[in-house]
Structure 1
Amino acid sequence: MSMLRIPAGLLAVALLAGTPAFADMNDSTEAAPSAPDLSRELKTARGQIEQQRYAEAITTLKAAEQKDPTNANVHNWLGYSYRKSGNLDAAFRSYGTALKLDPKHKGAHEYIGEAYLMARQPDKAREHLVALKSICGTGCEEYRDLEQAIAAYKP
């Protein structure tokens, strides 16, 4: 498995958004009543991410994924943790899964856009900005954050 290296100059773009607001930890459509309760795992992962303990968050989220592989939030936060760990290949896979499960997942669109900036693919980041505009308009936090990251991007 190849791992994309993050050029030092692009690290500022990755850090621009800082630690995410976690109001969107469950930002996807409500889980089906029969879906396993992952609130404990997501709360634990939130704390680990807030403390920048991404490897631990990945372990927690992988356990959650075993309980419910169809939870888009789990895949989104896995992508986030992989991206912050510097593993863009795994991040793209996780974000892709989140978006297959929930094509309107605002957090996944924002974060995959930021990952594309890290991978020096601003056109792909802009595609996700367009998607966010159609999902929530230009006023939602995810749109504004990705728009700001794109504006700050320097190749």
Structure 2
Amino acid sequence: MRRTVCAALAALLAIAATRPVAAAGTESEPAARPAANADYDIGKAAVEKGDFPRAIEALRRAVASDPRNANAFNLLGFATRKSGDPRGSLQYYQQALTIDPKHIGAHEYIGEAYLMLDDVAQARQHLARLDQLCIFGCKEHRMLKDAIAAHQKGIKPK
């Protein structure tokens, strides 16, 4: 057994020795990024700047190019909701949750969209799911819980 492990280790070291090593503190040339990732990055940056129309445009391209990107669908839902269309955002959050049922951001955001539509029961269902997913607590759970409490006081999320 020891001889087999030593032989495997020697083979791995031989392979590693043939590969170029970058100097400390430098990076190799990044590989070309797929258009879907570039569009996702553009959309994410636009969301961070509050430019929701630009975000929606870029994120629509991202999900068209990569229809399994739950994060892109989640951000598309966020940008749509923040543009004043909570009902339109639901389809994107639901798609994100179809791809990744444990996507905690999508659970929080869809709960907030339901609150904007005065559907507290649906928001509570997503809070319950976050309660299951966030065993030790998470900010998404706290934020949705706070949004539900605020809604009960007459304050709707934006």
**Which of the five TM-score ranges fits, normalised by the shorter chain?**
0.7 to 0.9
Q: Could you tell me the percent identity over the aligned residues?
A: 44
- Corresponding residue for residue 140 of structure 2: 142
**1:97 positional shift:** 0.6
Q: Give the 5 Å matches for 1:113-124.
A: 113-124=111-122
> Following the alignment from structure 1 to structure 2, what is the Cα–Cα distance between the partners of residues 63 and 37?
9
Higher RCO structure, 1 or 2 (CA under 8 Å, sep 6+): 1
The C-alpha deviation readout for 1:63-83, integer Å capped at 9, x for no partner, is: 101110111111111100000
- Corresponding residue for residue 4 of structure 1: none
The C-alpha deviation readout for 1:1-35, integer Å capped at 9, x for no partner, is: xxxxxxxxxxxxxxxxxxxxxxxxxxxxxxxxxxx
- Corresponding residue for residue 16 of structure 2: none
Paired positions, count: 120
Unaligned 5+ residue runs, structure 2?
A: 1-33
> Following the alignment from structure 1 to structure 2, what is the Cα–Cα distance between the partners of residues 152 and 90?
23
Aligned 8 A contact 2:77 2:90 in 1? yes
- Corresponding residue for residue 15 of structure 1: none
Which is greater in Rg? Answer: 2
Q: What TM-score does the superposition give when structure 2 sets the normalisation length?
A: 0.71
The C-alpha deviation readout for 1:25-61, integer Å capped at 9, x for no partner, is: xxxxxxxxxxx57443332222211221101000000
- Describe the SS at the equivalent of 1:104: coil
- Corresponding residue for residue 44 of structure 1: 42
Aligned 8 A contact 2:36 2:63 in 1? no
- Describe the SS at the equivalent of 1:58: helix
- Corresponding residue for residue 17 of structure 1: none
RMSD over aligned Cα atoms: 1.5
Aligned 8 A contact 1:138 1:144 in 2? no
The C-alpha deviation readout for 1:83-139, integer Å capped at 9, x for no partner, is: 001112220010111111111100000000000110001111011000001111361
User: Closer, same or farther in 2 for the Cα pair 1:150/1:71, shift >3 Å?
Assistant: same
Aligned 8 A contact 1:82 1:91 in 2? yes
Q: What TM-score does the superposition give when structure 1 sets the normalisation length?
A: 0.72
